[in-house]
Structure 1
Amino acid sequence: MTVQKIAVVGCGGISRVHLSAYTAHPERVEVVAACDPLPERTAWARETYGIERTYSSVAEMVDAGGWDVAVVCTPSSVRKDALAELARAGKHILVEKPLSDNVDDAREIVETCEKAGVILAVNQNFRDQYSFGIARKLIEDGRIGEVLGIDQQDLTFRQDKGWRLGMARHAMSVMGVHWFDGFRVLLGREATWVSCRTFSSPAIESAGETDGFVQIHFGDIPVSYVQSFSSSRKHVETIVFGDRGTLSLNYDSATVLTPDGASETIPNPYAGDQRRESMFRSLDRLLTAIESGGEPSNSGRDNLRTVALLDAAYRSAEQRTPIELVEGLPW
């Protein structure tokens, strides 16, 4: 197994989870460099994870060389320029989600990477960290028959800090990007119609929305999704209705329920203390694609449809009208 040399772009909060995951796999990953414009953050990377080579910019880190794959953990508002610079330098990339704040920029990023001949993957870690991967296999095995619809609730009271507070798109950009991607994984098809309403609770400090109510059609399969950062009740659950049974999903497990009262619960090995492993799995899909010459399942091209669904929900809320998509895309 090849050990790949990795550089991390952005040493903020989410980089901690990535770095903790990668240090558990020295047989596969060696983090040799990191950059951040704030010296206290690069100092933290050196002191906490022993990353000796740190820089104040992507350009400096590219010029220094000695690595082939970048993991981009910057705020979404500054990712586009960083990704373009890395692509021009011929570096393969794993980027945090959302890939971009809007679908047009996301498409430009994907095309820039493809023209440069580099592979772009997106860290949609909930494909593992949540029970979506387990549920997809259960659906494929026919455990609940034909899927009729999905109901998703993500209710919590959440006050974020830092750069996210100033973003015009908030709760669904933070968490909805996971659920939209998960619906695509579960159904194996793309959205055709989206309707959304949002509001911002005065109980939460944020420039963007705190709550969203979304209806989606994946062809003839309806999905109902509620996202709340202002809920007094904490509850996260995905219900998948089939014509021969029902699935109940959360972080910890997937449960199959049948009309005769039987049930079976399958634990999620990537939940709880093992959630960091989902970050490594996202990176390893990219590394495997680099080595095999294939395309990772979490590629930027695939992720365009997740970003398009997120973007369509916001546009529906802004325009107060449903948005139609063709095979998951607005064009």
Structure 2
Amino acid sequence: MTVHKLAMVGCGGVTAMHYDGYTAHPERIQLVAACDPVAERRDWAQQTYGVASVHETLDAMIDAVDWDVAVVCTPTSIRREMVEQLAAAGKHLMVEKPLADTYAEAKTLVDICAKANVKLAVNQNFREHYGFHLARDLVAEGRLGKVLGIVHEDLMFRQDKGWRREAERHALSVMGVHWLDGFRFLLGREASWVWCRTASSPAIDATGETEAFTHLLFDDIPVTYTESFSSRIRRTDTVVLGALATLRLGSEGVQLTDDAGTTSHQNPYAGKGKPESTYRCLDQLLQALDDGKEPANSGEDNLRTIALLDAAYASAKAGEPVTLTEGLPR
């Protein structure tokens, strides 16, 4: 098994999940460097996780240390700059979600990496952290029969800080990108139609939307999805309605209910397993490097997730549905 040398680009709050996942796998990853413009965050990475080489800039880290794979955890506002530097240096990379704020920006990042012949992956770790992979397997096995539709709610009271609070795109960009990707992954299909309405609650200090009400069609399968960052009731719940059974996804796993009763399938990557789900996303990239293939969570694949996100915002702005062709803009 190849051990890859890894560098972290950005040391913000989300990186603790990455560090916890990666340091648990020294047989696969050697974490050699990190960069962040904030000295306090560099010190945290060094003192908490033993990162030997920390730097203020990406340029300095590229020049100072030998490594082959980067994980990019910067805000999307500077994502292109980071990807351009990494691709030019021949570094393969995995980026935090969302890949970019818009489909056009995401396509540019994918093209930059393709031209530089470096692989690009996206940390869509909810495919396993939330249990979409378990649901996908049950659907593929025919346990539900024909899938008739999906109903999904993600309700919380969430006040973000820092750059996210100032972003023009908020609730859908922060959480919707997980769910939209999860629907694609679970069904193994691409959406053809998107309708969305958004709203902003005065209870939450945010420039962008705090509520989104979205309907999608994946061929003939309808999906209804509600996101709220101002709900006083907290609930995350997914119900997949099938002709033979009903499947419910939650924080711990999935439950399949049919005429014989209910069976539970525990998800080892839920809860405290989240860092492991993130490692597994990275390992898809590492395995692709070892095999000379493309990872399932590639930037190219993720374009269809970002296209869905873009279509939802476009629909909310125009007040009418948006249609897609094979999951991409027409």
Q: Shorter-chain TM-score category?
A: over 0.9
Which 5+ residue runs of structure 2 have no aligned equivalent?
Answer: none
Partner of residue 51, structure 1: 51
CA shift for structure 1 position 251: 2.0
CA shift for structure 1 position 59: 1.1
Query: How far apart, in 2, do the equivalents of 1:187 and 1:2 lie?
Result: 33
Query: How far apart, in 1, do the equivalents of 2:98 and 2:273 lie?
Result: 22
Partner of residue 152, structure 2: 152
Corresponding position: 1:133 with 2:133: yes
Letter in 1 for 2:255: T
Secondary structure at the counterpart of residue 197 of structure 1? strand
Query: Which range moved further: 261-270 or 299-308?
Result: 261-270
Question: What does 1:1-331 align with in structure 2 at a 5 Å threshold?
Answer: 1-258=1-258, 260=259, 262-331=261-330
Residues 16-64 of structure 1, C-alpha deviations (whole Å, 9 max, x = no match): 1101111111111111000011111111111111112111111111112
**Sequence identity, in percent?**
55
Secondary structure at the counterpart of residue 112 of structure 1? helix
Query: How far apart, in 2, do the equivalents of 1:100 and 1:133 lie?
Result: 24
TM-score between both structures, scaled by the size of structure 1: 0.98
Query: How far apart, in 1, do the equivalents of 2:182 and 2:231 lie?
Result: 22
Query: How far apart, in 2, do the equivalents of 1:25 and 1:42 lie?
Result: 22
CA shift for structure 1 position 261: 5.5
Secondary structure at the counterpart of residue 224 of structure 1? strand
CA shift for structure 1 position 80: 1.1
Secondary structure at the counterpart of residue 305 of structure 1? helix
Residues 93-112 of structure 1, C-alpha deviations (whole Å, 9 max, x = no match): 01000000000010010011
Query: How far apart, in 2, do the equivalents of 1:208 and 1:148 lie?
Result: 33
TM-score between both structures, scaled by the size of structure 2: 0.99
Query: How far apart, in 2, do the equivalents of 1:114 and 1:220 lie?
Result: 33
CA shift for structure 1 position 65: 3.4
Structure 1 stretches of 4+ moved >6 Å: none
CA shift for structure 1 position 272: 1.4
Secondary structure at the counterpart of residue 308 of structure 1? helix
Residues 184-211 of structure 1, C-alpha deviations (whole Å, 9 max, x = no match): 0111010101010000100011001000
Secondary structure at the counterpart of residue 307 of structure 1? helix
Query: How far apart, in 2, do the equivalents of 1:275 and 1:20 lie?
Result: 9
Which 5+ residue runs of structure 1 have no aligned equivalent?
Answer: none
Letter in 2 for 1:285: Q
Query: How far apart, in 1, do the equivalents of 2:88 and 2:20 lie?
Result: 28
Q: 1:128 to 1:64 in 2, by over 3 A?
A: same
Query: How far apart, in 1, do the equivalents of 2:11 and 2:272 lie?
Result: 22
Secondary structure at the counterpart of residue 11 of structure 2? coil
Alignment check: 8 A CA contact 2:17 2:274 kept: no
Query: How far apart, in 2, do the equivalents of 1:12 and 1:257 lie?
Result: 41
Secondary structure at the counterpart of residue 275 of structure 1? helix
Residues 90-130 of structure 1, C-alpha deviations (whole Å, 9 max, x = no match): 10001000000000010010011011000000000001100
How many pairs are equivalent? 330
Query: How far apart, in 2, do the equivalents of 1:191 and 1:314 lie?
Result: 15
Query: How far apart, in 1, do the equivalents of 2:25 and 2:18 lie?
Result: 11
Letter in 2 for 1:283: L
Letter in 2 for 1:26: P
Letter in 1 for 2:315: S
Letter in 1 for 2:37: P
Alignment check: 8 A CA contact 2:7 2:70 kept: yes
Secondary structure at the counterpart of residue 310 of structure 1? helix
Query: How far apart, in 1, do the equivalents of 2:222 and 2:195 lie?
Result: 11
Query: How far apart, in 2, do the equivalents of 1:44 and 1:275 lie?
Result: 21
CA shift for structure 1 position 219: 1.3
Secondary structure at the counterpart of residue 317 of structure 2? helix
Query: How far apart, in 2, do the equivalents of 1:316 and 1:217 lie?
Result: 14
Query: How far apart, in 1, do the equivalents of 2:312 and 2:253 lie?
Result: 28
Letter in 1 for 2:231: S
Secondary structure at the counterpart of residue 280 of structure 1? helix
Query: How far apart, in 1, do the equivalents of 2:119 and 2:281 lie?
Result: 13
Query: How far apart, in 2, do the equivalents of 1:60 and 1:329 lie?
Result: 38
